[in-house]
């Protein structure tokens, strides 16, 4: 049970403030912001998501650069409050299409109406966009957006041209300017992968955090069947040979019926409006990492060293990775870095971030099967204490690979129970793999 809910901008301005119980003083937003802003004397220490100041407990999550905050005086379940904050953000995004200060301000009456239906006396009532539709009467004013949308699906925006990107910033409830709603459904299989390589390229840990995300704009809420790989197994006990996809654990949205899941790995559900995860899963089964990284550091003189980084894309050549960024901390005494790219390299940029002594290498597009090399010549202002390998690294990498998934988990088919023959909604099933923590140690 919460006492207050508020949303602050990055600068700490109050965008929305709703007091449900009058137990916490009015200045709480300011107290909170000051605490978060100055959590650590030396700048960038993130404040933990839950803390207590003068008997008031503050919870916050950051969504799209905004701070969603709740306060309470009692011993509540923190996961309830933090989930609630995330969901509130999601519902408001469902309604407004885009989450930012501007869309909030333009729709403040709607936002207050939503908040009143979602939370009563501090108790969550519902966070389902679908349910809310029957109680909420204000219509969203959709703002023109040049901004990037938020959420995992946003990766499709800078993915390929084949992605119908505008749909993602569309409000679930607002009608299209043309009048009629476009009948379509998006199913995104989003996998965030974490891999740690040791210095000889051997995989120390690897993990996939996957989500099957759905966003439905279907009229009439028809039932949907979603079939996954038949050889999918859960838990390692019933291991079925090398080809199978083995999930360590998974969980489902409450609208999902699992009646036939054990038999043929199909999920059936009537998708509520709005964006929601149909299923979350976690895999620690070994998989082929999309990139291999090779790093070589040589001392070439008392105050000089040379770093060679090789990145090889180990996926099919029909697939491209986007917005690849390689980063590596360099020794503290690094004064200068000269970069050398392979001849004819396009879409590369290299940078030495003086402030935190970091090498950055960005590649706009990496085609499957290709290999790229960067040579960096370092100059130090002081002699190193010996082991340069200990003072540099580890190397980390971020990337997005559309239409690629590491786990081989697939949506075999997506069936919409038809109401009429002429009715043929658009169905989009999309895959994407993103780096979560992709690290090569030196």
Partner 1 sequence: MSRNDSKYFSTTKKGEIPELKEELNSQYKDKRKDAVKKVIAAMTVGKDVSSLFTDVVNCMQTENLELKKLVYLYLINYAKSQPDLAILAVNTFVKDSQDPNPLIRALAVRTMGCIRVDKITEYLCDPLQRCLKDDDPYVRKTAAICVAKLYDINAELVEDRGFLESLKDLISDNNPMVVANAVAALAEIQDNSSRPIFEITSHTLSKLLTALNECTEWGQVFILDALSRYKAADAREAENIVERVTPRLQHANCAVVLSAVKMILQQMELITSTDVVRNLCKKMAPPLVTLLSAEPEIQYVALRNINLIVQRRPTILAHEIKVFFCKYNDPIYVKMEKLEIMIKLASDRNIDQVLLEFKEYATEVDVDFVRKAVRAIGRCAIKLERAAERCISVLLELIKIKVNYVVQEAIIVIKDIFRRYPNTYESIIATLCESLDTLDEPEAKASMIWIIGEYAERIDNADELLESFLESFPEEPALVQLQLLTATVKLFLKKPTEGPQQMIQVVLNNATMETDNPDLRDRAYIYWRLLSTDPEAAKDVVLAEKPVITDDSNNLDPSLLDELLVNIATLSSVYHKPPEAFVTRTHSSAQKTEDDDYPDGSESESSVNLANGPGSPPTSSYTIPPSVAPATPPSAAAPVPDLLGDLMGMDNSSIVPVDQPATPSGPPLPILLPASTGQGLQISAQLTRRDGQVFYNMLFENNSQVPLDGFMIQFNKNTFGLAAAGPLQIPQLQPGASARTLLPMVMYQNMSQGPANSVLQVALKNNQQPVWYFNDKILFHVFFTEDGRMERATFLETWRSLPDSNEVSKDFPAIVIGGVDATVERLATSNIFFIAKRKNANQDVFYFSAKLPRGVPLLIELTTVVGNPGVKSAIKTPSPEMSTFIFEAIETLLRS
Within residues 367-426, the interface with partner 1 by CB under 8 A covers 385-387, 390-391, 394, 396
Q: Determine, following the binding rule CB under 8 A, whether residue 353 of this chain makes contact with partner 1.
A: no
**How far from 66 is each of 60, 108, 304, 361, 417, CA to CA, in Å?**
10, 15, 44, 29, 39
Total site size for partner 1, rule CB under 8 A: 93
Q: Is 115 left (phi over 0), alpha (psi -120 to 50) or beta?
A: alpha
- Nearest distance from C-beta of residue 429 to partner 1, angstroms: 20
Binders of partner 1 among residues 327 to 346 (CB under 8 A) are 329
Q: Determine, following the binding rule CB under 8 A, whether residue 76 of this chain makes contact with partner 1.
A: yes
Cα angle vertex 294, ends 369, 328, to 5°? 115
Q: In angstroms, rounded to a whole number, what is the distance separating the alpha carbons of residues 170 and 149?
A: 10
Integer-rounded Cα radius of gyration of the chain: 25
Distance of CA 72 to the CA centre of its chain: 28
Binders of partner 1 among residues 281 to 310 (CB under 8 A) are 282, 284
Of the candidate residues 9, 133, 141, 312, the single one contacting partner 1 (CB under 8 A): 141
- Nearest distance from C-beta of residue 377 to partner 1, angstroms: 23
Q: What is the largest distance, in Å, between two alpha-carbon atoms of the chain? A: 78
Which residue stretch of 98-106, 151-159, 265-273, 290-298 sits at the interface with partner 1 (rule: CB under 8 A)?
98-106
Find the helix packing angle between 108-118 and 78-96, rounded to 10°: 140
Q: In angstroms, rounded to a whole number, what is the distance separating the alpha carbons of residues 358 and 393?
A: 9
Which residue stretch of 105-113, 159-167, 310-318, 333-341 sits at the interface with partner 1 (rule: CB under 8 A)?
105-113
Q: In angstroms, rounded to a whole number, what is the distance separating the alpha carbons of residues 266 and 281?
A: 15
Of the candidate residues 166, 175, 219, 251, the single one contacting partner 1 (CB under 8 A): 251
Q: In angstroms, rounded to a whole number, what is the distance separating the alpha carbons of residues 333 and 222?
A: 63
Beta-carbon count within 10 A of 30 CB: 12
Of the candidate residues 9, 106, 299, 408, the single one contacting partner 1 (CB under 8 A): 106
Q: Determine, following the binding rule CB under 8 A, whether residue 175 of this chain makes contact with partner 1.
A: no
Of the candidate residues 79, 300, 317, 381, the single one contacting partner 1 (CB under 8 A): 79
Of the candidate residues 50, 157, 203, 296, the single one contacting partner 1 (CB under 8 A): 50
Of the candidate residues 9, 86, 145, 370, the single one contacting partner 1 (CB under 8 A): 86
- Decide whether 47 or 341 has the Cβ nearer to partner 1: 47
Q: In angstroms, rounded to a whole number, what is the distance separating the alpha carbons of residues 283 and 278?
A: 17
Q: Are strands 233-234 and 246-247 parallel, antiparallel or unpaired?
A: parallel
Q: Determine, following the binding rule CB under 8 A, whether residue 51 of this chain makes contact with partner 1.
A: yes
Of the candidate residues 28, 127, 129, 268, the single one contacting partner 1 (CB under 8 A): 127
- Decide whether 250 or 429 has the Cβ nearer to partner 1: 250
């Amino acid at each position: 049970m919460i006492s207050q809910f508020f949303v602050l901008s990055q600068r700490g301005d109050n965008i929305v403030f709703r007091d449900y119980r009058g137990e916490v003083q009015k200045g709480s937003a300011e107290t909170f912001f000051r605490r978060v802003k100055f959590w650590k004397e030396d700048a960038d220490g993130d404040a933990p998501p839950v803390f207590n100041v003068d008997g008031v407990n503050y919870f916050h999550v950051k969504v799209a650069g905004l701070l969603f905050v709740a306060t309470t005086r009692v011993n509540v379940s923190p996961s309830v409050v933090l989930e609630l904050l995330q969901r509130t953000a999601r519902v408001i995004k469902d309604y407004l299409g885009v989450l930012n200060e501007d869309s909030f301000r333009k729709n403040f009456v709607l936002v207050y109406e939503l908040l009143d239906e979602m939370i009563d006396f501090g108790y969550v009532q519902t966070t389902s966009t679908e349910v809310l539709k029957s109680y909420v009467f204000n219509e969203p004013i959709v703002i023109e957006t040049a901004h990037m949308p938020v959420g995992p699906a946003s990766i499709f925006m800078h993915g390929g041209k084949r992605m119908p990107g505008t749909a993602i910033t569309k409000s679930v409830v607002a009608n299209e300017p043309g009048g009629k709603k476009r009948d379509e459904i998006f199913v995104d299989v989003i996998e965030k992968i974490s891999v740690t390589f040791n210095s000889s390229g051997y995989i120390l840990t690897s993990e996939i955090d996957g989500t099957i995300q759905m966003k439905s704009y279907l009229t009439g809420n028809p039932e949907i069947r979603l079939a996954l790989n038949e050889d999918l197994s859960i838990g390692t006990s019933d291991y079925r040979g090398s080809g199978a996809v083995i999930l360590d654990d998974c969980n489902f949205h409450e609208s999902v019926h699992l009646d036939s899941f054990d038999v043929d790995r199909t999920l059936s559900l009537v998708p509520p409006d709005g964006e929601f995860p149909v299923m979350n899963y976690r895999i620690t089964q070994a998989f082929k990492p999309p990139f291999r990284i090779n790093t070589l550091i040589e001392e070439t003189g008392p105050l000089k060293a040379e770093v060679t980084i090789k990145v090889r894309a180990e996926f099919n050549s029909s697939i491209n990775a986007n917005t690849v960024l390689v980063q590596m901390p360099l020794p503290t005494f690094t004064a200068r870095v000269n970069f050398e790219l392979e001849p004819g390299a396009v879409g590369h940029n290299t940078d030495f971030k003086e402030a935190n002594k970091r090498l950055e290498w960005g590649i706009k597009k990496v085609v499957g099967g290709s290999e790229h090399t960067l040579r960096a010549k370092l100059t130090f202002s002081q002699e190193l204490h010996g082991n340069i390998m200990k003072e540099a690294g580890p190397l980390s990498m971020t990337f997005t690979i559309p239409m690629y998934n590491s786990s081989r988990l697939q949506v075999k088919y997506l069936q919409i129970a038809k109401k009429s023959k002429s009715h043929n909604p658009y169905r989009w099933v999309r895959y994407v793999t993103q780096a979560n923590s992709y690290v090569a140690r030196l």
